Chains A and B, each alone.
Chain A
């Protein structure tokens, strides 16, 4: 499996560390329903058979965090973006 890093180009997935699902947004801990919202955020997953968004860290390369869209049925990589361009400030 090759991941097309925006900095380094296509590299073996061995160079990367997988962090997990990248679709969740950390809830507001001050919100009224924070307990329930954190349960959903920490534990529940869509776990799709098909296109899936995940966080990957290019530890043996540019050491950037990446947001990777990958098909879980075929392992085909659809898109790779820098995480910092994705995260809202």
Chain B
């Protein structure tokens, strides 16, 4: 990155004193070249992080990221900003913990304020059986270096005194805390990766939708887009809920269904929630943004959808869960509600692999949990593309695990994607 492009307190002061006349765009809005070594389809967090680590770690810079809309307009701008590594299974936890470690150094790495706040997450416990399950999960987290603390009811009361501890149906018995978890500014993450990747020579091409693939000698040789053909030696997909739409053009089906996930924001309130917390008896999770709004969500809308907007039954369900936990929640006003398309897989875990067609690389099936995975997903996908083999951290995210029976089913609900 050129010295005058680096962000620092001195640059803020200088730009302020010169009325921001010297501000420059954070990244180049590139025009597509006819050929690249690698074309990444999807300019979301995962695609941008992949481009950045390909350039930074693997020294490959003849790369295009093509995005059908604008950077930050898809799921990167639609999630609820929580970052955490509190998984149970051995195939998942080391991957998410590596993501957490990358989050911890991301601002210095990118020279961009992505507002990582390690304010912790608390998963509430409402029954003895749930405590047993969370003790097991907490031990798995500790074994993988993620850290975990089992909180008593009184510990939870210190963190979240406003909860309904003596709820008749779901009294709060304790919690599992990951103190290193927290939140990050969601769209700053994709902007930060875009700026850093662009500075290393990656072409970011917006308003460029992939409509089909190019073939040569039985390999995929690039993409046909609304801005012309782009040839590439390697074509990598990181398009979240739209993955099936693209692979249908290649004639194969995926173990993925697309669903809508909604999120909500209240009016701004004085700071009173430190970190995120989740309801253990229903599906409801909540944090407070730096602007003071409550940011929360719950279940996906339970049927296949590409609509990027949800329906009222889930709105009702989320607010019922929230009101059961936070007695004053119904008295707040709500500012916004939105939705993104999640690529729900048949075991609730991601797919990241070489193939299944020569020349193609697949990064998909992040379910509703792709945001926290952004740095490690980029790191591992860059490795997978550059070396033509999976990184040890994503070696279990194989697409053929459904055929061989090596499923990674955190919730143990089987091939029913709307239940994960």
Contacts and interface: CB of A to CB of B under 8 A. Distances in A.
Contacts of B242: 49
A62 B403 CA distance: 38
Interface centre among B245, B306, B416, by most A CB within 10 Å? B306
Contact of A45 (B245, B257, B403): B257
B257 A18 contact: no
Contact of B257 (A12, A14, A42, A47): A47
Contacts of B211: none
A47 B346 CA distance: 12
A30 interface: no
Contacts of B255: 43-45
Contact of A21 (B257, B311, B312, B402): B257
B313 A42 contact: no
Given A44-B253, A45-B253, A47-B244, A75 B304 contact: no
Interface in A7-32: 12-14, 17-18, 20-21
B57 interface: no
B274 to A, nearest CB: 35
Interface residues of A, number: 26
Contact of A72 (B253, B258, B313): B258
A46 B248 contact: yes
A72 B306 contact: yes
B302 interface: yes
B303 A18 contact: yes
B42 to A, nearest CB: 15
B403 A54 contact: no
Interface string B393-416: 000000000110000000000011
A13 B314 CA distance: 10
Interface residues of B, number: 27
B418 interface: yes
A39 B248 contact: no
Interface string B211-249: 000000000000000000000000000000010110010
Contacts of A87: none
A74 interface: yes
Contacts of B113: none
A45 B256 contact: yes
Interface string A40-71: 10111111110010100000000000000010
B254 interface: yes
Contacts of A12: 313
Contact of A54 (B244, B254, B304, B311): B304
A21 B304 contact: yes
A70 B303 CA distance: 10
A20 B304 CA distance: 8
A26 to B, nearest CB: 13
A12 B244 CA distance: 29
Contacts of B416: 20
Nearest to A17: B302
Nearest to A49: B306
B305 interface: yes
A14 B302 CA distance: 10
6 contacts: A13-B313, A21-B304, A39-B403, A47-B256, A49-B244, A49-B306
Interface of A: 1, 12-14, 17-18, 20-21, 36, 39-40, 42-49, 52, 54, 70, 72-75
